[in-house]
């Protein structure tokens, strides 16, 4: 399983799709996008921070754990840091697998676990505050 884990300060640009083999039948991509309303407050942006060595290690382990029930061939994970304005992606995940069900289940489970265990934090940048 090829895994790429990246934290970047700039706008997320998905890398070009290159298939890891001729046995790939499914590619699932997920963008997590900053919404204007969170807890009923109008946001201007979210500001993300990370404990990067631990986050990378936790993500690698989550991906590894999930590959047993949901065998996939390759994963690209990109999380943006710093200020992410409403309407832009804070998270991008791409998963390649032979069949669609594994990639979809993996994607869903990976995000769930990330949200519970991976040391990344967001903070609201409210509309009245100048970013």
Partner 1 sequence: MLLTLLAFSIAQDQLGFREREIECNTTETPRAILARIAPTLDPTSMRVAVDCEYHDWDTPIGTARELALIPPVSGG
Closest to 106 in 3D by CA, of 69, 58, 60, 61: 69
**By CB under 8 A, how many residues form the interface with a second copy?**
28
By a kind-dependent CB cut-off of 5 to 8 A, residue 29 interacts, out of a second copy, partner 1, none, with a second copy
DSSP state of 22: T
42 lines the binding site for partner 1 (CB under 8 A)? no
Distance from C-alpha of 41 to C-alpha of 125, rounded to nearest angstrom: 10
The answer to whether 108 contacts partner 1 (rule: CB under 8 A) is: no
Query: What is the C-alpha separation between 54 and 115, in angstroms, rounded?
Result: 14
Cβ proximity to a second copy: between 55 and 110 the closer is: 110
Q: Which is nearer to a second copy, 57 or 113 (CB)?
A: 113
Helix or strand holding residue 37 (H, E): strand 37-38
With CB under 8 A as the rule, give the number of residues binding partner 1: 24
Q: Establish if 123 lies at the interface with a second copy (CB under 8 A).
A: no
> Binding of partner 1 at residue 45 (CB under 8 A)?
no
C-alpha–C-alpha distance, residues 71 and 103, integer Å: 8
Q: Which is nearer to partner 1, 16 or 78 (CB)?
A: 78
């Amino acid at each position: 399983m090829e895994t790429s884990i990246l934290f970047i300060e700039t706008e997320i640009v998905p890398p070009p799709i290159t298939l890891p083999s001729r046995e790939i039948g499914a590619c699932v991509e997920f963008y997590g996008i900053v919404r204007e309303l969170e807890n009923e407050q109008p946001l201007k942006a979210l500001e993300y921070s990370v404990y990067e060595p631990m986050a990378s290690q936790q993500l690698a382990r989550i991906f590894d754990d999930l590959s047993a029930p949901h065998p996939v061939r390759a994963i690209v994970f990109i999380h943006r840091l710093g200020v992410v304005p409403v309407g832009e992606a804070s998270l991008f995940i791409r998963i390649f697998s032979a069949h669609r069900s594994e990639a979809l289940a993996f994607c869903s489970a990976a995000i769930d676990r990330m949200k519970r265990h991976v040391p990344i934090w967001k903070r609201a940048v409210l509309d009245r505050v100048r970013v």
